[in-house]
Structure 1
Amino acid sequence: MASKFPSSDDFDEQFLTCSICMRHFRDPRVLPCLHTFCRECLQGWATKQQPLECPTCRTQVSLPDQGVDGLRTNFYVNNLLDFAAAKKGAEPGVPCQVCKKNVEGSKSWCADCAILMCESCTLLHRNFPSSKDHEVTTEETLKAEGGISNFHRKRHCQKHKNQELVFYCESCNTLVCTACTVIDHRPGKDHNPVEITTVAQKKKESLQALLQDIHPRLKEIQASVKEVERKILNLIPSKEAATDQAKAYFRQLIVLLQKRENEILNQIDEQCRADGKVLQTKKEAIEFELAGLTSAQTFCQQAVEHGSDVHVLEVGNQVQTRIETLLAKQLDLESDWSEFQFVENTAVTDLEKEVQDLGGVKTKIDASKCKVVVKPAVQGFECIAELTTMNKKGRTCVTNSKAITANIKDPSGTGVSTQLQMKSLGVWEIPNVPKVTGNHRLDVKVNSQHVPGSPFDVEVKRRDTPALTIGRKGSGEGELDGPLGVAVDKDGNIAVMERGNKRVQIFDKDTGQSLRRFPVGGKKPFGIDVDSHGRIFVTSFGNNYGIRRYSKEGKLLDTFKPDCVKHPLGMSVLKDGRMVVSDRAQKSCLLLQPDGSLIREIGKGQLQSPAFVTVDESRGMLFVTDESAHRVFAFDLDGNPKFASGKEGRNVGEFKTPLGVTLDQAGNIIVVNHDDRRLQVFGPDGIFIRTVATVKGGSPFGIALTPDGYITVSCYTGHCVEIYRYN
């Protein structure tokens, strides 16, 4: 009897289990983040999320045009599943997968058919003409060290089912069979099929080099994890020690307060006794005088009422003298005592402020290193200031909300309500909705200390005025000359295409400060967009026209000059790298591959002077402004017209030379008129919704919407970019 394969413990069951359905993978597919899930599970997950996020690492995923079916199959996992099934099939008592008989002896695996066969079926399998060339691996080979590497399914061409994939077309980046090299991928200028072994070896070498780079990085990260684990272990002891210290500190304060209370109460008692003794003495003296006068009164009254004439004459002089003496006597009937009271030398309200400074939690936060960014404020809209708490090294660091105080006052000095909100670890939002315009004051403290710049001046603007204006005419840093296209990069900052300076300049989205700038090629640069990787695309027409792609830092990466492009203006880059460009000479929009080759023309025969273009990928729609037709046209990406919005005029929903166009998250269409400078919003169906503002700067061209709800407008003759609050 053949010995058993290695035990099932040799497999990592979790590695073979889909984390969504918690079962063995069925048709495993690999996401770009290299996490694997069942194809069916991913399809269900994709219907619940837009955009799709990896269920494990939450990385946003851009699916291919084919959806989940376009994702790569994880053949390594498939091999392990096959190997696990083969192990189970090789156990005694398990029938052959071909003859279904429970036959003793060793079994073999056919990589082409993906089945496990007994010795007899293996012999027949090798003798059949159709399967004699199949790759069959014996049980002994599989049991040998490293045998699992010989255990695999062969890959066959989807088009030529009986053909194994043995070539790789380097031009198309795809695996092909021998038949494909004759029909669809014939060697030439467009195709370059190479044997898989050659290409795979080169790829293995490059991956091996990456593995060498990964190892030190892994060690660094693992050390960091251990350090964090150590700190986690110290977290509770640190809490307990700090708690004990705080309790001891406040107990001492309580003892001091109780001692002071007893001193005051004793002082009150002593004062009460002293005052009582004085008042008692006073009372006795007054009562003595009262008794004498009362006695004289009684004697005199008896003599007058009941005495005889003889008796009155005998005692009258004596009584008169006594009474006159008593009446003439100077008596001190006033007492010097007044009620004593407890005096609050320090008012409770004042003490309450002092109590705020009694103790605190000492963390790694350094108030002097903390930063506050105040975003442009508009009346009636939520205004957010952003606080980043940092340690002494200037690194973002977490603290508790009690360590932060933020107070806002309007121009009259009235407090404005705000509530601190944690945006992310170490980053806090201080929101408020200003009701009045004018200068507001924002006071921010961390650990009872002002952060640099606090209190801050926050100028609240009216709704119809720019919340922020960037630039002025010039060629220096932060200056602009003829800004046309404008876009928002992946960090939310504003990228501006300057015609006069022939450069791109990037501005901070919150402060308007110039971050960097770089020159661009082409005689007349016009449009700009930024892809999901932060690369910047610029169009230019005239001499040396084309589409140029730059790195985030401004290094020229590619120049596209396809024959189909003649006069490129506005452009939009899709998540998968495809591009949509409006072409004035072609009077159409061009949908291009990432390499610049034409997929299709859109709008031919319907557009007159296409200017700017934007794409709603969730609906597969593009929107283009036509300045001569005074309309906005909508097409799907297959080139089918959907609707045209607006007409020439100055009323709501009408256009006077529409140029810049962009979309909000709800799919609403935002358009700016060049002539009357109105910034208008239309629904996804092209129906007018509202006017945002009338642009103050001269000759508005491009527009873009920032993630935090501001519209940026490039003003060509105003040599500036104006920012308006949108939502």
Structure 2
Amino acid sequence: MEDTEVSLQELGAQTAAVSSCCVFCKVPFKDMVLRVGRRYEVKVLHCLHSACGRCLEEILTTGQEVLCPVCDHRIKEQDYHKYLCNFAENQTLDYRAAGFASTPLITCDECVDACPAVQYCARCVRRLCAECAEHHRRSRASASHVLTELTAMAELAEAQAKEVTAPEDSQRATSARSSPSSLSLHRLPLCAIHRRELEFFCEDCSMMCCRECIRESHETHVYKLPSGSLVERQRQGLSENAQQLQGLFSSLQERRKTLSENLHGCEAELAKALQNIRHLEVQVKEALQQRRIEMLDEVKAFRDQQRESHEARRASLASQLLTRWRAIDFLEKVLARGTNCEVLLLTGYISAQRLLGQDVLASKVAELALCAALRPKQLPVKWSGDVAAAAHEISQMAAVRTQGRHTIEASPLQVGEPQTEEVSEPTEAAEAFESHERQIVSLQDAVPAPPAPQPICLSQALGPRKAATVTATEPRQKLVRRPKSDQEIRESGLGELRAVLGLEGDALGCFRSPCGMAVDSSRLYVADTLNHRIQIFDKFTLEALGVLRLPSSGDGPSSLSDPSGMCCVEVKGMTILVVVEYTLDRVLRIELGQSPLAAAVRELAPGTFYGPFGAGISQGRVVIADSCNHRCLVLTLNGQVLFEFGTRGQGRGQFDYPECLAAFADGHVAVSDKDNHRIQVFDANGSFQHLIPRDWAPESEGHLGSGRLRAGALRGPMGMCVDARDRLFVCDCGSDRVQIFSRQGDFLWSSCSATCIFRSPTAMAADEQSLYVASDHCVQIF
């Protein structure tokens, strides 16, 4: 990039082509089609580029902003007359118009008939027709004025232009253009507002005014007639401004030169850095190739070592096989032909030599443990070397039934290294293992694997072969459970686990990280977050009704992306579902009928949320947990924002990423303050009421520790719901448990003290029949 010095004269020469033609139509002003009226005049835009009056007027009639095509400057002024005239170009146009003697284009400035002008008065700055010129000579006020023929002025101007445009007379041309001429042809300046002659200069506003302007806006100002001293003073001021602009031009030129030098330096540094990067790339490739060779050598050495080890183990096993074969042959012969004494002697010898050693029994236990691991939802079995204890534990697993209410949890079996203690009565243990293996096979046959996952009750999953799978033709009985008392809650907690809905996957009826649920009078809605969908189930039969589909036509969204929180309300036989989408920062109102296809979709309060997560319905109003804004917003069902509450912090009424919501019967709202490890309760107006747990404190023991929390403490609470007696059920996600609190925030029950097992529970919902908990890619129904 070459650096060049630029002067004012050079810049003037470079911009001559732009300034001598219209920026819109690109027609040179000297070649314009001359028109009578204001269209044949030249106007100056606010960016100091010039345009012909015709183009400017056409743009202004459309009512749009004026956009300069050269510099992209936007001008909002819509009044044509408030744009300044280009006096020099207008003078050139007037000279050309004066030269058309056969077709006069300049009209008289005095008479109303707009007769062709033939003479010009320099003192009055008026172009006059023949009749008005006669009156002008006869008038006492203008009798001494000198009138000049327009055609003579045009001829003289053309002759002067030919003389000063020669290359050797460029300096003389510049001085001729800059000095005033007695034969200059000017137009009568008119007020842009009243279209009257400008007669006064307001010194307070520094602008020319007509009589109407003085009377309306400048009556109390200091205004004067444009006398010689006033004009000279303003000329001096404009000259000073020109000098300041020249100084600013020089300063900008120096800055441009400095920037050019810096740019050259940066380019040199970048070239050097690029060369270093390429050199480093070569070195890295060489190092990687060297490391590849070393790793291949290490792998080959490890392979040879493992091969030798396996060969040694295979030889040892072959030796053991020969030893067992010889023992079997010897035993068969003694048992077939030996005496009683020989049989008893052989029994003691076999026990002493440990031909049926613990290594054989340990491999049998490992085989049975692997079979049990293939059967999901079983209690874990830990092998510690005690064959009899492991056989008893595995046998107990086969006898588990729903009546026992054991915790059901999928866990891999852990088989450790056998210990050195001897095993008593190996024959009985082996028989127990053979019996339990038959039980495992029977259990695997009892529950077939369907092509598509279906909701399975626990009693059917663990029961004998005659138990059938739940289908859509076997609806659950519609039960209205009596609300439990607080004492019953403390004793039984969530109650009996009646069904488990779904597995991990993307098929219909399967889930990946469900983060929201809602339930109406007949259906259960589950936000299948990582599968980017909402699944609908019949809450009585647990049959999958399908995936919620949004209408493809219309202005609203046509698909979902990571739905999280949900809530619903039934209005006139129609379900209104409010869905929060965390990644898209939006909240949708979805209207549903009987079909999974939504009847209507609209976005509530677009552009208001940042990382919203949870939603709830309180007294017919929608409450949204705007998580990343650390606040909650209350809206109408139509999306009008009523008010908000909460800021970021640890104080009362402050949040640190609020996640989920639950509404009480009196309109109070519980908000899970996730990263503050607590729940806050607010009234219907957003005023803080109390904390859950009631003894919460930022540094209190059990809240922020890494170990097991005490019952009643919270770590990262998420989904919540409220039962018929305003008890609050909380998904304590960070502690893998569900806890229950009273309306006043008193602790009632925790799943850590029961047989219920949850893994990162995220969402809850409740109705008069059931309680639904989303945990570990499934929905548990109590």
Q: TM-score range by the shorter chain?
A: 0.3 to 0.5
TM-score (norm 2): 0.32
TM-score (norm 1): 0.35
